[in-house]
Structure 1
C-alpha cells in the first residue's frame, strides 16, 4: 500500500472504531466497546505507517 492508502484506511478504522466504542459504551456492551478501542488503535497505527512512508520517501528524494 502507498502512504495515502494507509492514511485513508487509518482514518476509516479510527472512525469506525470510535463508533463501535461509543455504541458499546451506550448499550453497555463491553465487548463491542473493546473492539472499538482496538480498531481505533489499528487506525492510528495505519496512519502512522503512512506518515513514516512519507518521511522515508522525502528523505530518499533529498539524497
Structure 2
C-alpha cells in the first residue's frame, strides 16, 4: 500500500476508535472503551507507517 492509503486508513481507525471509546465510557462499557483506545493506537501506527513511506518512498 502507498503512503496516502496508510494515512487514510490510520485516520479512519483513529476516528472509529474515538467513537468507540466515547460510547464505551458513556455506557460504562470498559471493554468497548478499551477497544476504542486500541483502535486509535492502531490508527496512529498506520499514520506513522504512511509517513515513513512518504519519507523513504513507497518501495519499502
Q: Same fold (TM over 0.5)?
A: yes
TM class by shorter-chain length?
over 0.9
Higher helix proportion, which one?
1
Q: CA RMSD in A?
A: 0.4
What is the TM-score when the length of structure 2 is the normalising length?
Answer: 0.94
Could you tell me which runs of 5 or more consecutive residues in structure 2 were left unpaired when the two chains were aligned: none
Residues in 1 aligned to 2:7 and 2:15: alpha-carbon distance in whole angstroms: 12
Matched residue pairs, number?
57
Larger radius of gyration: 1
* Runs of 4+ residues over 6 Å off in structure 1: none
What is the TM-score when the length of structure 1 is the normalising length?
Answer: 0.89
Q: CA deviation at 1:3?
A: 0.6
Could you tell me which runs of 5 or more consecutive residues in structure 1 were left unpaired when the two chains were aligned: 58-63
